[in-house]
Amino acid sequence: MQTTAFNVAGMTCGSCVTRVTNALRSVDGVGSVNVSLAGAAATVEFDHQLTTPEQLQAAVRQAGYDTNAVQAATPKPRGGCCCH
Does residue 69 or residue 73 have the better pLDDT?
69
Side-chain-side CA neighbours of 48 within 13 Å: the count stands at: 9
**At the topology level of CATH, where does 2-75 sit?**
Alpha-Beta Plaits (3.30.70)
Q: 9: pLDDT confidence band, cut at 50, 70 and 90? A: very high
Q: What is the mean pLDDT of residues 63-82?
A: 67
CA distance 27 to 52: 10
Closest CA to 60 of 18, 13, 3: 18
Does residue 80 or residue 51 have the better pLDDT?
51
Give the least confident one: 6-10, 38-42, 44-48, 76-80: 76-80
For the whole model, what pTM was predicted?
A: 0.81
Cα torsion for 33, 35, 41, 44, to the nearest 10°? Answer: 0
The residues spanned by each domain of the chain are 2-75
Give the pLDDT of residue 68: 85
